[in-house]
Structure 1
Amino acid sequence: MTAEAIAATLQHDILSGTLSPGTELVQSELAARFQVSRIPIRDALMLLSVEGVVTVTPNRGARVIQLSPSEVQEIFDMRVLLEGDCLRRAIPYMQQADFERIEHVLRRSNLEVQTEGWAEGDWNFHLALYSPSGRKHQIVMIEKLRRRCQLHIAAYRTLPEETLQWIRDHELIMKHCRNKETEAAVDALKRHLSEAGKTLVRAMPTS
């Protein structure tokens, strides 16, 4: 089994909440699980470190990242800035084909809100919104920040319980985009992200 395949499996476990924030990732245990030597395990952990979901400390091993409430709030503040800017840049370039793609992923996302695929569906919707901006590097940054939030959302079971509001938010953002109401769309997105951040922070232990 390759390091890439191991990393993909572990990332799924992390983002789905199977491996919770702060979980120690012991190389010998992982090697036994995947029936490989420690070398591909070490490489897989380094790949996950680059993705920002694992911290690797020399001579101390690796752990799933564990953020404090203030750190989660900081990430959501960054997301509001980056994602709001990306959407503002995208709307002027949205054409009929873009709206059809966004509506398609929105319908699919709405069907997945109470399934294990909710996070992927949510990201696909936001990615479809931002892609017309052409801001590839900015979108990569957004995706990494979202992953850090997602593993905590999965651990504390927050947003999947807010599905009706989540669907309404997405549909409102889409409506404003189609009408080329840029500032209204950006404001709706920022409120959507800010409320998600507040919901997660409230669910997290304070110590």
Structure 2
Amino acid sequence: MNTMAPILTVKEQIAQQLRNDIISGALTPLSKLNEQALAERFGVSRGPIREVLVQLAKEGLLISKNNKGVSVAEILPKSLQKLLLEMRKKIEIYALSLIKDEITAEQINRLDFILAELQQAFIDNDYAKATLKDVEFHQYLVEEAGGEQLLNIWMPIVMRMRLNFQPGKHEASIVNEHSAIVDSLKQGEVSTAIKLMRATQY
């Protein structure tokens, strides 16, 4: 399992910040994005901003329409939300199946740290941060186990899901599910972690 964190380019950093703004609710569904305003915010020309907006549209986070500009995607119907959840779980279960006995103490510590931050965000009623930490937890598992290729498949599914997510409604379930998965990995029980991931609801 890879433990090296990638170094992000300026364009990748902008894309990640806008993803965070969208999934945390700082940018709400159907809100419009202005290239010039974003260029001024990030201190770059409009070219990189335009490329980032195209990328996020491909990921399903934004919608681009001729003569209407770019806006945050709208919330999906429940049937599609359920479909995305099943797709996400299949990828994460596959990632866990790759771990076998290779998980390290460093990786367990990282998962514990993310989980502690998730719990603290709920204690602080900071649901925007809780959403980001929930995504970070699952992203870390997928990237560490499956690498960049698997992460690139997983990312747009999860980003689109999180437009519909309200973590404050599921606080106890989210924390319990994550804690149980980490506990199983600590014990080297990957098969149990897979069963727990399959049973997750959020």
Q: Same fold (TM over 0.5)?
A: yes
Structure 1 residue aligned with 2:163: 151
- What CA deviation, in whole Å up to 9, does each residue of 1:10-66 have, x standing for no partner? 5444222243333454x5xx6468669976664443232133311223345333222
Residue in 1 that maps onto 2:171: 163
Give me the whole-angstrom Cα distance separating, in 2, the residues matched to 1:5 and 1:80. 27
Matched AA of 2:58: V
Gap runs ≥5 in structure 1: 197-207
Structure 2 unaligned spans of 5+ = 1-9
Counterpart of 2:81 in structure 1 is 72
Other-structure match for 1:49: 57
Question: Match for residue 82 of structure 1?
Answer: 91
Tell me which amino acid in the other structure corresponds to 2:183: K
Quote the Cα distance in structure 2 between the aligned partners of 1:9 and 1:180. 35
SS at match of 1:99: helix
Identity %, equivalent residues: 24
Contact 1:173 1:189 in 2 (8 A): yes
The CA deviation string for residues 111-141 of structure 1, in whole angstroms up to 9 with x for no partner, is 1233131122222222333344243211222
Structure 1: how far apart are the matches of 2:37 and 2:71?
18
Q: What does the per-residue CA deviation read over 1:145-183, in whole Å, with 9 as the maximum and x for residues that have no partner?
A: 111111221xxxx22222122111111111111122222
Partner amino acid for 2:95? C
Residue of structure 1 in register with 2:180 after alignment: 172
TM-score (norm 2): 0.75
Counterpart amino acid of residue 194 in structure 2: V
1:92 to 79, 101, 105: 101
Alignment RMSD: 2.9
Alignment check: 8 A CA contact 2:38 2:49 kept: no
1:91/1:132 contact within 8 Å kept: no
Report the Cα distance in structure 2 between the residues aligned to 1:133 and 1:184, rounded to whole angstroms.
16
Normalising by structure 1, report the TM-score. Answer: 0.73
Over 3 Å counting, the alpha-carbon distance change for 1:4 and 1:121 in structure 2 is closer
